[in-house]
Structure 1
Amino acid sequence: MSTKVRNGGDAVAITATAAAAEVKGGVQIEVEFAECECCGLMEECTPAYIARVRERHGGRWVCGLCGEAIKDEICRAGRRISTEEALDRHMSFSRDFLSASPPANPAEDLIAAMRHLLRRSLDSPRALRSTPTSPRGKEEDNGGRRSSLARSESCFPSLAR
């Protein structure tokens, strides 16, 4: 197996069938480098694990994070889609994301995104927000009345817009 590992800006080629071997209880475990076909993340995995992941994803190896994104893609689809179609959608998203140019000022973009998220959450109706619940919230208390916690005011007394 041949692979490339990025170290800073340089790419170093590693050729190995057993890239690393661990000793665990006196037994050597063979591990190989595997590169995610979606995001390019490199991981050390056992050959058996690599085979299981490839079997689940049509011969392609994907990292755990991309695997979860593929599961989420299947759940979010309005209709029943195959794992292969969800994988193609996620790979397309990853390709578009990686090819996009980075923002001119990432710190300002992050601050603007957080400001937008905070304003959107504060402007939403209270009924749509989640409310705190306790394990006893569903029980009847005080002679048939339910006791609940109510928030009297915002945690943020003032926000400049």
Structure 2
Amino acid sequence: MNEQRLRNAISDMSNEINKYKKELESSNVVAKIDEEECTAGYINEVEDSFSGKWVCGLCSEAVKDKMKEVAPNGTAMQEAVSSHRDFCQKYNSTRLNPKLSLTSAMREIARRSSENRDSKHNLPMSKLGRSSSCGPRIDFKQYMQQNDYYLSHNIYLAYIYLLSINLFGSL
């Protein structure tokens, strides 16, 4: 008798699940290429909010942050979704090879740092200072203070180069 009730309960539950399953749709997330099951109404609501694209909750926050950076115009949402999708696709393509991912990230950091240095510090390196004595000695402490940014940046680039050689062998 207990077996019969258990079968009836399972059958009833199965019928309920099938009823709700008909309401669910499978939808690809724009950035992650994952599938999520959601109701058609929810999918339409999300797609309406994000220029017709399906975006998961975490990605929606990233898109909203990107919207703040982009000038408020009619295509800002499309640009933000497209930018986030490109970022995720780039991330997912390099993530399979951790060494390549690390090297690519470090190369990107070095490139950005170099761009920042070129735009902000367009001044040439200062000339070597001399001490106040009669002899032609270099005031190394003063030279280091004046050129600290350039020296630390060059040391950093050398470190990245050596790391990439260790990871991939000779470039």
The TM-score bracket by the shorter chain reads: 0.3 to 0.5
Relative to its length, the structure with more strand (as a share) is: 1
Relative to its length, the structure with more helix (as a share) is: 2
Q: Which structure has the bigger radius of gyration?
A: 2
Higher relative contact order (CA 8 A, sep 6+): 2
